[in-house]
Amino acid sequence: MTHQTVGHRHTTRPGLPDDPRAAVTEPTPSCPVEITLAALRGRWTTLVIRELLQGDRTFTELRQALPVLSDKVLSDRLAHLTEAGVVDRRREPGWPSRTHYRLTPQGRRLGPVLQALWDWGATTAL
Amino acid sequence: MTHQTVGHRHTTRPGLPDDPRAAVTEPTPSCPVEITLAALRGRWTTLVIRELLQGDRTFTELRQALPVLSDKVLSDRLAHLTEAGVVDRRREPGWPSRTHYRLTPQGRRLGPVLQALWDWGATTAL
DNA sequence: CTGAATCCCTGCCGATACTG
DNA sequence: CAGTATCGGCAGGGATTCAG
């Protein structure tokens, strides 16, 4: 089985949770959905996360995995993801200097999110 | 129960499905994740979907539910969502002209996706 | 009532060049 | 090796105005 649909329980509930934050009438950074979309925002972001879902990676390894991505944007993405609490950066002392990146526990929990995005998009493409 | 975590099955698999489309090294429109993100792209989009998850809505009803959203952007979002196969538009003949919008079956399946986005963002805010 | 046309402003992203 | 600095092009989105 390649990609079975993940077992969501969405049969009954039509909308979103009856959380006060679900009542907003305009986009606000405190809305959980906005928080997640903000973390995923930007071209290349999901691909960087996909790489890190497979384990620890250095800057160069990421650059090799995504050859078209420029240094600047990769650096931007990693800084953004680090600030969002998705990625953890570990400088290696000495020379040549290396920096390892890996997902935080919170970042690893983006796996199911990407899976949900994948599942929906996979059915649309038919 | 306000919002229990949806039952994802993500314990074992570290990455994404072993689908050939998961091997891309740059953002491509054919990637299912990109497809979904493209459908959700744009400010206000998720809020419009949230409204429609609660049922059929007219243009004016949507405008009232999201007062800060301008006509132009609402129109843009609805056109975009319609083209993405998320929304179905029904013109009402006669006067005053009204247009009803509702989610397609595919659009309704975005519920779990938004739920996944919500769940992740809700844990980050702590 | 619904939505298209126009204008402007802002922020993203890519390329290039440069530092610790 | 791992970034930052700077610049330019382009698309997104808000306000306003006009049309079917």
Nearest-nucleotide field for B43 (CA, C1'): D13
What's the pTM value of the predicted model, to 2 decimals?
Answer: 0.88
Coil vs helix vs strand at B24: coil
- The fraction of chain A above a pLDDT of 70, given in percent, is 85
Check residues 30 to 69 of chain A and report those whose beta carbon is under 7 Å from nucleic acid strand D: 58-60, 63
- CB-hemisphere CA count at 13 Å for B90? 9
Q: Pick the residue of B37, B45, B53, B82 with the most A CBs within 10 A to test the interface with A by mutation.
A: B37
Tens digit of each residue's pLDDT (9 = 90 or more) over B88-115: 999 988 888 899 999 999 999 999 999 9
Tens digit of each residue's pLDDT (9 = 90 or more) over A66-85: 999 999 999 999 999 999 99
Q: What are phi and psi of B31, to 5 degrees?
A: -70, 125
Nearest-nucleotide field for B91 (CA, C1'): C2
According to the model, what pLDDT value does residue A116 have?
97
Q: Where are the alpha helices (DSSP H) in A1-126?
A: 32-40, 45-53, 59-65, 71-83, 105-108, 110-124
- pLDDT category at A2 given cuts 50, 70, 90 is very low
In this complex, the answer to whether residue A89 has its CB under 7 A from any atom of chain D, a nucleic strand, is yes
- pLDDT category at B21 given cuts 50, 70, 90 is confident
- pLDDT category at B5 given cuts 50, 70, 90 is very low
How confident is the prediction for chain B on average, in pLDDT? 88
According to the model, what pLDDT value does residue A21 have?
86
Q: How far apart are the first and last CA of chain B?
A: 19
**Is A25–B65 a contact, with Cβ atoms under 8 angstroms apart?**
yes
Other beta carbons within 10 Å of B62: 19
Ordered structural domains, chain B, with CATH? 1-39 (no CATH), 43-126 (1.10.10.10)
Q: What is d(CA B126, CA B115) in angstroms, rounded to the nearest whole number?
A: 18
H and E: helices and strands count for chain B: 6, 3
According to the model, what pLDDT value does residue A94 have?
81
- Window B:40-99, CB contacts with A under 8 Å: 40, 43-44, 46-47, 50, 53-55, 65-69, 84-85
According to the model, what pLDDT value does residue A16 have?
65
DSSP state of A5: P
According to the model, what pLDDT value does residue A95 have?
81
According to the model, what pLDDT value does residue A15 have?
53
Q: Pick the residue of A36, A41, A66, A110 with the most B CBs within 10 A to test the interface with B by mutation.
A: A36
* Span A44-54, average pLDDT: 97
Chain mean position to CA B5: 20
According to the model, what pLDDT value does residue A20 have?
86
According to the model, what pLDDT value does residue B19 have?
83
Tens digit of each residue's pLDDT (9 = 90 or more) over A12-41: 455 566 788 899 999 999 999 999 999 999
* Sequence letter at residue B50: R
Tens digit of each residue's pLDDT (9 = 90 or more) over B45-61: 999 999 999 999 999 99
Q: What is d(CA A16, CA B54) in angstroms, rounded to the nearest whole number?
A: 9
- Is the pLDDT at A114 greater than 70? The verdict is yes
Q: Both tokens of residue A59?
A: 């800057």
**CA closest to B34 among chain A residues:** A121
Q: What are phi and psi of B100, to 5 degrees?
A: -100, 140
